[in-house]
Amino acid sequence: MTDGRYRILLRPSALAFTASPTQDLLSAAAEAGIAVPSACRNGVCELCEARLVAGRALNTRTQQTISPAACLMLCRSQALGPLELENDAVMAAGQNSPQQMQATVVEVRPISHDVYRVELKLPRRRELNFHAGQYLSVLLPDCEPSYFSIASSPSAQHIELHIQAAAEWQSAQRIIDALKSADSVTIEMPHGKACLAAAPDKPLLLIAAGTGFAQMKSLIDYLRETGYDHPIRLYWGVRRQDDMYLQALAQQWQEDWPPFTFVPVVGDSEDNDWSGHHDQLVRAVLASGADWRNVEVHASGSPTMVYALMDALLAVGLPESAFFSDVLEYAPRQ
């Protein structure tokens, strides 16, 4: 027991959380950011059912003790000690398999000189689980799939994307035009292992370049919901001031969420090339004063930026297992 709380281990995902003796297990899992399918929260729908593998729990409806091998409803159970539970519907990070579906286009709106906010509504929303920080692909006829980070939290009703489409970028413009003219679009989701299936028990550094901010927004929205209270710093690097398309939102987070610090990193000059810009972002992160043995880093941007950052952080002592980025999966180093 730690701080009056019991450790609860979920199998097969190996996700763990703690619960106080007076708290229902569904709320305790949610506090840790672990999404367990649920609806009634009253022991009726059976969506939150789990099998007790080890330990003893209390059925709060009947006040009877539940022993190993029996099934329980997480919303109607309390821990009487450390527990091991089996629930196949809870997935570890990146273990949820992608599905194709038709999403309704709710909004396509410019939010800067070249970034659009896109909002999509999914069918059977409650049946689709994804983790904060995952991405989706938009599938248009006769086009290669286009991949975009999901900018919203898994609990949000709609999916939010930030799509950069400068006038001269034909392929991105084609996607924006298609989304503007269609009522619905085929998407495939969720993709990506650099995500959070539970809130980490340590400080976080989030580093984004350009529209890499979208992935960080999903993580931040999710962590705010879980009541995450370790220090969390967001570094957002852009080439020019007007590329920082949601700066006011990031500043707002800093004002109303005490653990959060926002560090904008704007290119030194109009002609700043991307490599100079990346150096500047990496230098800012290195100056954070983080304890590199006790921090988790999530990075989103181009492979050049992400690998420059990773090399610099591993050189100062960050363990490789504490660095997360989709780049490591889709653009692995040879």
Question: Would you tell me which residues interact with ligand FES (CB under 6 A)?
Answer: 38-41, 43-48, 73, 75
Would you call 16 helix, strand, or coil by DSSP? strand
Burial of 333 (0-12, 13-18, 19+ CB in 10 A): exposed
CA distance 251 to 261: 9
Provide the residue count of the chain.
334
Angle at 134 between CA 251 and CA 188, to 5 degrees: 130
Nearer to ligand FES, 50 or 328 (CB): 50
Nearer to ligand FES, 27 or 184 (CB): 27
Q: At closest approach, how far in Å is the CB of 93 from ligand FES? A: 23
Q: At closest approach, how far in Å is the CB of 260 from ligand FES? A: 31
Nearer to ligand FES, 29 or 313 (CB): 29
Distance of CA 110 to the CA centre of its chain: 24
Q: At closest approach, how far in Å is the CB of 61 from ligand FES? A: 10
Nearer to ligand FES, 32 or 246 (CB): 32
Nearer to ligand FES, 40 or 70 (CB): 40
Q: At closest approach, how far in Å is the CB of 37 from ligand FES? A: 8
Q: At closest approach, how far in Å is the CB of 44 from ligand FES? A: 6
Burial of 179 (0-12, 13-18, 19+ CB in 10 A): buried
Angle at 309 between CA 190 and CA 211, to 5 degrees: 45
Q: At closest approach, how far in Å is the CB of 178 from ligand FES? A: 39
Would you call 212 helix, strand, or coil by DSSP? helix
Residue 188: CB atoms within 10 Å: 15
Nearest to 326 by CA among 290, 297, 300: 300
Nearer to ligand FES, 39 or 249 (CB): 39
Q: At closest approach, how far in Å is the CB of 89 from ligand FES? A: 12
State residue 102 phi and psi, 5-degree precision: -100, 120
The tokens for 81 are 């000690």
Contact 296, 202 (CB under 8 A): yes
Nearer to ligand FES, 41 or 158 (CB): 41
